[in-house]
């Protein structure tokens, strides 16, 4: 977990007098340390061990516990959540990861896969609904609402009637694709012959109806745009941006199914965004609570050093750093990335071709983060929660130091900051090259200088929304690829695999090692909160009896 350690510097206040500004450094310490088991006290036997408590791991573990298995989740850090964890400093609540949510309150096949998991586990979040976000692009600044009508107004203003006509044409093309994208909910999938019953058999009428359109969903979204003759540069840039935010790749690398599902959620009447009161940590706590309600265990500060294999080569448990062994009667499931999972198994125990293919999986770049606690006095009371800043379209949305995403959750949930204050998270989404940081000592002057230089684009992006943010700031912290690598246990601080649609497929949860499974963004369907929730669901379903899986689908109305 990240927590702030203060460094005193001097800054100029709005009156010209100097004020104390607290710059923070990330340290591995929780705001409220949990009781800690150490050494052999952690040793026990269970049915399934899940390595890592990211959203994919928690969804998988919770569902397995609901299915009746004894489940233990081993988390390396002091707090659960992986990239979705949060921390507190001086009354400011900061989030490390996801900030834009939708579809969690939905029901039926069109709901977000995370919504299906929450429903299955009986987790109810207090969701704040809203439908606007602020966009700063080279063409200008505009407030956009989720839904089709508002975007047509934006296009009319900045591009004209020809662009509006193109967008209308694209909507017609996307309508059947969006329907096809929801024909089989991810909650119905499993990676064994039981899928013939829970997915194919259960949803056969939908498959037959959407068959021709379903075939288009596995290719890159750029192919859909080309087929619809979408040429307006702003529309193409805009959809590159949305694709990039979904998958870490522009439209030519993002699978069409993912964008089609997004269209179904965002560009239809009466749609809205959601923010869980309490932020991402409320979501994490809900999933952990469900795991424990069904008899599962969460072990914090329990770093897995290696996956144990028995004499027949089956995954049989895990060994923990500092002592302790957890034996798994049925399975070990890794929520770590594919590269980090490979480190847990001796290379000579893995099929060489599989090991080499997985090790060579291309990786997305990393992140830069800026978290700021600041004085909100005199700011517009209608300040938006979300802001997207695109500095330039030339060169693509995935170029370094370009797109800045900004979230100010306290405008919707005031409990996340002290009275009269706001908390802010700005970041470069998967565009920061790890190579710039490789080998640097985090305590060196060179590292501090590079942090200062590479974070300026974040400050400047925020200044387009709050011009005097540096004067208002009371504390801040800067995260780098090394922060990602260290605290999130991410290979090279990466966002995840850069698997391009049409060139390769995300693998399923199974591995050549009997009893070893994977979940998270290294497995199908890939990167992003809905995707990892789906991956956790699929992994859990694969281990569950078909009749229990079918029962779960009945319970949540699928």
Together in a domain, 175 and 212: yes
Together in a domain, 152 and 257: yes
Together in a domain, 282 and 255: no
| Among candidate residues 246, 267, 288, the one where a domain is terminated | 267
How far apart (Å, rounded) are the C-alpha atoms in residues 207 and 180?
A: 8
> Around Cβ 60, how many Cβ atoms within 10 Å?
36
In a domain, 398, yes or no: no
How far apart (Å, rounded) are the C-alpha atoms in residues 62 and 65?
A: 5
In a domain, 473, yes or no: no
In a domain, 241, yes or no: yes
How far apart (Å, rounded) are the C-alpha atoms in residues 244 and 403?
A: 10
Together in a domain, 259 and 293: no
Domain count, the chain: 2
Determine contact, residues 57/335, Cβ cutoff 8 Å: yes
CATH classification at residue 74: 3.50.50.60
> Residue 298 sits in which domain range?
39-83+277-361+500-556
Determine contact, residues 479/421, Cβ cutoff 8 Å: no
Together in a domain, 301 and 348: yes
In a domain, 515, yes or no: yes
Together in a domain, 213 and 259: yes
In a domain, 550, yes or no: yes
Angstrom distances, CA of residue 172 to CA of 175, 198, 220, 460: 5, 31, 18, 39
In a domain, 366, yes or no: no
**Alpha helices by DSSP H, 159-255:** 161-181, 195, 204-214, 221-227, 233-247
Torsion of CA 473, 474, 479, 483, to 10 degrees: 180
| Among candidate residues 267, 294, 321, the one where a domain is terminated | 267
Together in a domain, 170 and 243: yes
In a domain, 137, yes or no: no
Together in a domain, 251 and 283: no
| Among candidate residues 267, 292, 324, the one where a domain is terminated | 267
Determine contact, residues 103/271, Cβ cutoff 8 Å: no
In tens digits, the chain (558 residues) has pLDDT values of 333 333 333 333 333 333 445 554 443 334 444 456 666 788 999 999 999 999 999 999 999 999 999 999 999 999 899 989 999 999 999 998 877 788 788 788 778 899 999 999 999 999 999 988 899 999 989 888 876 567 788 888 889 999 999 988 988 888 888 888 888 899 999 999 999 999 999 988 887 777 677 777 888 999 999 999 999 999 999 999 989 888 888 999 998 888 888 777 666 666 788 999 999 999 999 999 999 999 999 999 999 999 999 999 999 999 999 999 999 999 999 999 999 999 999 989 999 999 999 999 999 999 999 999 999 999 999 999 999 999 999 999 999 999 999 999 999 999 999 999 999 999 999 999 999 999 999 999 999 999 999 999 999 999 999 999 999 999 999 999 999 898 888 999 999 999 888 888 899 999 999 999 999 999 998 888 889 999 999 999 999 999 999 999 999 999
H or E segment to which residue 232 belongs = none
Together in a domain, 168 and 221: yes
Question: 539 Cβ partners below 8 Å, 6+ apart?
Answer: 56, 60, 333, 509, 517, 518, 519, 523
How far apart (Å, rounded) are the C-alpha atoms in residues 317 and 315?
A: 6
């Amino acid at each position: 977990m990240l927590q702030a350690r203060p460094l005193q510097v001097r800054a100029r206040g709005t009156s010209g007098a100097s004020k104390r500004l607290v710059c923070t450094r990330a340290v591995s310490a929780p705001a409220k340390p949990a009781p800690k088991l150490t050494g052999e006290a952690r040793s026990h036997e269970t049915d399934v061990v899940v390595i890592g408590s990211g959203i994919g791991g928690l969804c998988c573990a919770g569902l397995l516990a609901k299915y009746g298995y004894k489940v233990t989740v081993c988390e390396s850090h002091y707090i659960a959540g992986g990239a979705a964890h949060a921390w507190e400093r001086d009354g400011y609540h900061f989030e490390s990861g996801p900030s834009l949510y939708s579809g969690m309150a939905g029901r039926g096949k069109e709901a977000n896969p995370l919504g299906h998991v929450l429903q299955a586990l009986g987790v109810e979040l207090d969701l704040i609904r809203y439908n606007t976000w602020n966009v700063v692009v080279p063409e200008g600044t505009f407030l956009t609402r989720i839904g089709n009508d508002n975007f047509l107004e934006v296009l009319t203003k900045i591009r004209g009637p020809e662009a509006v006509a193109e967008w209308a044409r694209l909507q017609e093309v996307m309508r059947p694709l969006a329907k096809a994208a929801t024909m089989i909910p991810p909650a119905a999938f499993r990676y064994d012959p039981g899928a013939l019953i829970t997915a194919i058999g259960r949803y056969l009428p939908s498959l037959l109806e959407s068959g021709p359109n379903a075939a288009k969903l596995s290719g890159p979204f750029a192919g859909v745009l080309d087929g619809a003759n979408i040429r307006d540069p702003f529309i193409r840039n805009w959809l590159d941006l949305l694709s990039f935010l979904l998958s870490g790749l522009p439209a030519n690398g993002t699978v069409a199914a993912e964008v089609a599902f997004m269209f179904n959620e965002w560009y239809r009447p009466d749609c809205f965004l959601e923010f869980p009161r309490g932020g991402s940590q409320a979501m994490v706590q809900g999933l952990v609570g469900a795991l424990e309600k069904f008899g599962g265990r969460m072990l914090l500060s329990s770093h897995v050093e290696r996956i144990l294999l028995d004499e027949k080569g089956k995954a049989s448990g895990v060994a923990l750093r500092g002592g302790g062994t957890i034996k798994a009667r049925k399975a070990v499931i890794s929520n770590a990335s594919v590269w980090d999972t490979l480190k847990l198994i001796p290379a000579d125990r893995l099929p060489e071709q599989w090991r080499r293919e997985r090790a060579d999986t291309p990786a997305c770049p990393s992140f830069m983060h800026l978290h700021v606690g600041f004085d909100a006095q005199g700011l517009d009371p209608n300040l938006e929660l979300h802001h997207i800043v695109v500095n330039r379209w030339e060169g693509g949305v995935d170029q370094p130091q370009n797109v800045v995403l900004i979230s100010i959750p306290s405008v919707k949930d005031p409990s996340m900051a002290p009275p009269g204050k706001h908390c802010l998270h700005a970041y470069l989404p998967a565009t920061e090259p790890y190579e710039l940081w490789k080998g640097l000592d985090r305590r060196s002057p060179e590292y501090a200088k590079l942090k200062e230089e590479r974070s300026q684009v974040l400050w400047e992006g925020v200044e387009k929304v709050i011009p005097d943010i540096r004067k208002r700031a009371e504390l801040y912290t800067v995260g780098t690829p090394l922060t990602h690598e260290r605290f999130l246990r991410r290979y090279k601080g990466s966002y995840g695999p850069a698997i391009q649609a049409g060139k390769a497929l995300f693998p399923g949860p199974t591995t050549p090692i009997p009893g070893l499974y994977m979940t998270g963004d290294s497995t199908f369907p890939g990167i992003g909160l809905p995707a990892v929730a789906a991956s956790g669901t699929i992994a859990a379903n694969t281990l569950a009896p078909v009749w229990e899986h079918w029962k779960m689908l009945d319970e949540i109305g699928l």
